[in-house]
Amino acid sequence: MKQIGRQATLDGVFRPRSPKSKEFELPPSLPPTPPAPASPSPPASPARQERAVSFISITSDENEPDVQEYTGPPLCEEQQDLVDIIMSGKNVFFTGSAGCGKSTVLKAAIAQLEAAGKTVAITAPTGRAALNVDGITLFSFMGWGAIKHPKMSLAGLKDDICKKPNKKVRKILQATDVLIIDEVSMVENNFLTRMEAVLNHIRDQTRPWGGLQLIVTGDFCQLPPVLPFQHCCQCGTELDIPYQEADHPVDRIIECSCGHGPWNYEEDRWAFRSPAWEAAKFAYVNLKEIHRQSDRPFIEALQKCRLGIPLSSRELDMLLNHESEVENATRLVPTRVEAKKINAKKLEEITDYTSKDYTCEDGIWFPPSYDGPKDYLGERTKENTLKRFDDHRFNKKVELKQTQLVMLQVNLNLKKGLANGSQGEIVGWEKIDKDRLPSYEGKDGCLKEEHVLLFTEEYLRKFPNPDDQVWPVVRFNNGYRKTIYPVCVINHMGYQSQVLIYRTQIPLIPGWAITIHKSQGMTLDQVIVKLDKVFEVGQAYVALSRATSLRGLRIEEGNSHTLSAELGRNPEVHEFLERKFGRDLYADHAGSTI
């Protein structure tokens, strides 16, 4: 299916955001969409007509169309208290165990800050993490290139931001009221130091971070910084990181040839070791209430795993040898290569049914005032080579077969248990009916409806055979059955950019295997964890904490010795958390000390 960019269709749909608002103005109705040309097809034979009737035999457990827009669960008391602290104007670092609702709080805080008229920059260290929060990478926010700017000296960065070609970036940085950094555990010490120095230089030099309100969240017990200490913080010189053998851990001391440093690779890589961190004078909040699991012994074991507290023999036995129901479980594996191999093999083994292929519709929209490289960006979008889509959660192509295990990629209906990570099996297909497409709520609901319709029309044109003109019906593990329609996800090209990119796709991925990294943020009813190739401290905890219960968890290729080894801790993280949160850190979901 082609990738499209429909500027003409969207010019009448909304106007650009003002600097202080992220709301779109939508007209009462969309302009009519010209019908896609239909490919001629021969009339179906009587046999084919009879076959079509029996083929389309399964529908959802609810009346369609429905509203597909997730607004999030209501905040619990400690979450609301946290939002109130954020709204008071303080710099805040908040953390908590997996399943405590960090993302829920972040969304609520962003909505309230924007409603209060604040200009909010939403950022994350990687492209995938940024797309998950409808934000941009920290590099993009600062106007830095991933190759050029790390090699520049700190003084050079300050000079560079003041030059005429960077006037637009400079104005954006100066106009920002609130900077949000998600997944801060993956941000390195030196990057944070350089960020703060540049922001301070072009804003208010008498105040840390130039007077920005800083909201930072993440769990340092999970994923570590991405490629730390590649270049010197002060002069930009490339640094030589000593090699460390897995069986002979030693302190890796890094020194710059210009005399800057030294840095201890293991201890100093974390964002909280940066002087910029302490300069922010954060209010520290640890969310304690766990919403993903309810089994207290399991929660206590996970809390110990997170904090690196040794598990008792009883707890190790509980994790390794409990009764489980994982017949349709997803395997969490360390690498994409392994996940891809498992999924391809399992799909090939389904020989009784043919596949249905859905190719994404990508598009880009430019506001009338945009004077940048429209043709270049438009062509890159059509060719599916625009880098902004590289980390998109929706796959370019979704190949589905009946009886296939699948995983949902969006939150559809929490009341029915249909959330990001919900697992199920394709049990049939529903005939495509454009009149039954779901409606959307929210500020850009009309835009999403338009592109779901465009996706549908293009799919019908490409596949004129009635047997192919269907949507998948999934029976989820909780017994609920749902027709899965296309979903349109909209992101901004950059911070305060009026250029929009959007991808429309069936929000399903193969459910046999995914990487531990991609599972972050998911809630899985049934999961099999392989710990034999875990290569970072924290990955084992991320994997185990995806499970909602012990019954839905099985650990493969591990014993009490290997499990204890994989659940080791980073001493510097543990020391930092204990210093900031004290014994309160060791409380379970009910507040009792573990």
Residue 588's alpha-carbon distances to 6, 10, 111, 367, 569, in angstroms, are 51, 50, 30, 50, 18
Closest C-alpha among 181, 103, 102 to residue 140: 181
Model confidence at 197: pLDDT above 90: yes
Contact 289, 589 (CB under 8 A): yes
The C-alpha atoms of residue 55 and residue 60 are separated, in whole angstroms, by 15
Binned at pLDDT 50, 70 and 90, residue 249 comes out as: low
Model confidence at 11: pLDDT above 90: no
166 or 6, which is more confident: 166
The pLDDT assigned to 494 comes to 62
Cα angle value 63/69/71 (rounded, 5°): 125
The pLDDT assigned to 42 comes to 36
The pLDDT assigned to 46 comes to 34
255 or 34, which is more confident: 255
- Average model confidence (pLDDT) across the chain: 81
Tell me the two tokens of residue 68.
């597909």
Provide the 10 A C-beta neighbour count for residue 75: 16
The pLDDT assigned to 282 comes to 97
Contact 546, 524 (CB under 8 A): yes
Least confident of 35-44, 117-126, 143-152: 35-44
The C-alpha atoms of residue 289 and residue 347 are separated, in whole angstroms, by 39
Model confidence at 77: pLDDT above 90: yes
Tell me the two tokens of residue 206.
């008498």
CA gyration radius for the chain? 25
Q: Which long-range contacts does 570-577 make (Cβ < 8 Å, 24+ apart)?
A: 570/220, 570/221, 570/224, 570/266, 570/308, 570/537, 570/538, 571/308, 572/266, 572/267, 572/270, 572/273, 573/220, 573/221, 573/270, 574/307, 574/308, 576/220, 576/270, 576/272, 577/95, 577/220, 577/221, 577/307
The C-alpha atoms of residue 574 and residue 560 are separated, in whole angstroms, by 22
279 or 70, which is more confident: 279
Cα angle value 515/518/523 (rounded, 5°): 105
DSSP state of 593: B
Tell me the two tokens of residue 106.
């972040």
Report which secondary-structure segment, H or E, holds 529.
strand 527-530
Contact 299, 589 (CB under 8 A): yes
Binned at pLDDT 50, 70 and 90, residue 537 comes out as: low
Please tell me whether residue 399 adopts helix, strand or coil conformation. strand
Please tell me whether residue 145 adopts helix, strand or coil conformation. coil
The string of pLDDT tens digits covering residues 483-523 is: 999 999 887 766 556 778 888 999 999 999 998 888 887 88
Contact 76, 87 (CB under 8 A): no
The pLDDT assigned to 562 comes to 66
Model confidence at 536: pLDDT above 70: no
Sign of CA dihedral 425, 428, 433, 436: negative
Binned at pLDDT 50, 70 and 90, residue 567 comes out as: low
Specify burial of residue 434 (Cβ count, 10 A radius: 0-12, 13-18, 19+): exposed
Least confident of 149-153, 199-203, 290-294: 290-294
The number of residues making up the chain comes to 594
Contact 422, 548 (CB under 8 A): no
Provide the 10 A C-beta neighbour count for residue 71: 12
Question: Angle between the 313-321 and 296-307 helix axes, to the nearest 10 degrees?
Answer: 110
The pLDDT assigned to 8 comes to 31
- The whole-number average pLDDT for the span 394-409 is 93
The pLDDT assigned to 223 comes to 80
- The whole-number average pLDDT for the span 121-130 is 88
369 or 284, which is more confident: 284
Binned at pLDDT 50, 70 and 90, residue 408 comes out as: very high
The structural domains of the chain, ordered by start, are 77-228+269-287 (3.40.50.300), 296-327+526-586 (no CATH), 338-512 (no CATH)
The string of pLDDT tens digits covering residues 16-28 is: 333 333 333 333 3
The string of pLDDT tens digits covering residues 337-376 is: 999 999 999 999 999 999 999 999 888 877 777 776 666 5
Binned at pLDDT 50, 70 and 90, residue 93 comes out as: very high
- The whole-number average pLDDT for the span 112-126 is 94
Please tell me whether residue 216 adopts helix, strand or coil conformation. strand
Residue 5's alpha-carbon distances to 8, 189, 272, 525, in angstroms, are 9, 40, 42, 38
The pLDDT assigned to 181 comes to 97
- The whole-number average pLDDT for the span 232-238 is 91
Of the chain, the end-to-end C-alpha distance in Å amounts to 54
Beta bridge partners, 96, equal 287
The residue to which tokens 């960006």 are assigned = 377
The pLDDT assigned to 39 comes to 37
- The whole-number average pLDDT for the span 268-290 is 94
Question: Which residues does 325 contact at the CB level (< 8 Å), separation at least 6?
Answer: 526, 551, 552
Binned at pLDDT 50, 70 and 90, residue 407 comes out as: very high
Model confidence at 70: pLDDT above 70: no
The pLDDT assigned to 291 comes to 84
Residue 559's alpha-carbon distances to 114, 119, 320, 378, in angstroms, are 49, 51, 7, 53
506 or 584, which is more confident: 506
Binned at pLDDT 50, 70 and 90, residue 5 comes out as: very low
Which parts of 44-150 fold into alpha helices (H)?
A: 46-55, 77-87, 102-115, 127-132, 138-142
The string of pLDDT tens digits covering residues 438-464 is: 888 777 788 889 999 999 999 999 999
Q: Report the percentage of the chain scoring pLDDT > 70.
A: 77
Binned at pLDDT 50, 70 and 90, residue 334 comes out as: confident
The pLDDT assigned to 395 comes to 87
